[in-house]
Chains A and B, each alone.
Chain A
Amino acid sequence: MSDPVLPLGSASFDGLVEVREIGPQGMITLRGDLSAPEVIAAVTDLAGLEMPGLRGANTAGDTGLLWMSPDELLLLVPYRQAPAAVDRLTAALDGQHVLIVNVSDMRALFQLRGTQLRDVLAKLAPVDFAPEALPAGELRRTRFAQVAAGVWLLDDTTARVFCFRSVAGYMFSLLSTVADPDSQVGFHVK
């Protein structure tokens, strides 16, 4: 197997928050009826995590289940295990009306860490980043400036952001710009 290459080669920036490109992260898109018992059984069995509800993001390390839309789930698995996980899901859901695709290499993933996290994120998306509006463990799909993005908080000072690989450079520039040490807002965090 060839070596995976990160879109930006583990780029990082230190500012109001620490921005770091992480991965490679195995990602599998599943399209289908997320309320079907067979689908729930297959994905929870694979991930060892509970089925997420509306906009839920149940993650543990590099494993996770993200609720993307009423008929779309994003499974996070260790990168090397993604092809085998697709085979296992495909076998488990044989006969079901589902689509399962390994999308690991078409994504870029960033981790943001720091106390200014919510203020930094709020500069980029038309989203209420208050703790009540976006608690840890909830996925928000939105746009960051001009590109589609998904974001969820692991805890109050750590977030993960993913986007298409083709806009990884743009996303990293955005995140670095809003994390500029001279651009503190002090709204969500005094």
Chain B
Amino acid sequence: MLTFECPCCGAHADETELHAGGEAHIKRFGPGASDDDFEGYLFTRENPKGVHFERWRHVNGCGKWFHAARCTMTMEVFGTYPAQTFQPPKDLLDKITEKRPGWSWRDLS
């Protein structure tokens, strides 16, 4: 069972109380962007075995969106953090490095 601590209301929310929102930190490029940028925004997704960053919504709870980092292989949750950010917080990245030395995900490592 996957359980996240919602950073908005602090509740320990089981997967069935949440709605999965897909990969985190997808950037939509502005006007004048190339076809490649738009294709990446629409279609290109990571499918890692290991560290992954995702968006989740506490739908049967406080209703807020948040971010989560977890391991897709072991279901270990590294942490959750607010939705209002472009990248994971430094202390979370350090924690992941401690647990999964040498990990990488897109341009993070």
A contact residues vs B (CB 8 Å cutoff): 54-55, 68-70, 72, 126-128, 140-143, 148
Contacts and interface: CB of A to CB of B under 8 A. Distances in A.
Report the interface size class on chain B. 10 to 19
Contact of B17 (A68, A69, A72, A126): A126
Contacts of B17: 126, 142-143
Interface in B1-32: 8-14, 16-17
A70 B60 contact: no
A69 B63 CA distance: 7
B9 A54 contact: yes
A70 B11 contact: no
A55 B61 CA distance: 10
Contact of A55 (B9, B63, B64): B9
Contacts of B16: 126, 143
B62 interface: yes
B62 A70 contact: yes
A114 B29 CA distance: 57
Contact of B62 (A69, A126, A128): A69
A101 to B, nearest CB: 15
A127 B9 CA distance: 14
A127 to B, nearest CB: 8
A72 B60 CA distance: 14
4 nearest A-B pairs in the assembled complex, by CB-CB distance: A126-B14, A69-B62, A143-B60, A141-B61
Given A55-B9, A55-B11, A142-B61, 10 more contacts: A54-B9, A69-B62, A69-B63, A70-B8, A72-B63, A126-B13, A126-B16, A141-B9, A141-B11, A143-B60
Interface string B74-92: 0000000000000000000
Contacts of A143: 16-17, 60
B14 to A, nearest CB: 4
Interface in B47-68: 60-64
A53 B64 CA distance: 17
A68 B62 CA distance: 6
Given A126-B16, A126-B17, A142-B17, A70 B61 contact: no
A72 B11 CA distance: 16
B11 A140 contact: yes
Given A141-B60, A142-B61, A148-B60, A70 B12 contact: no
Contacts of B9: 54-55, 69-70, 141
A143 B11 CA distance: 13
A177 B35 CA distance: 56
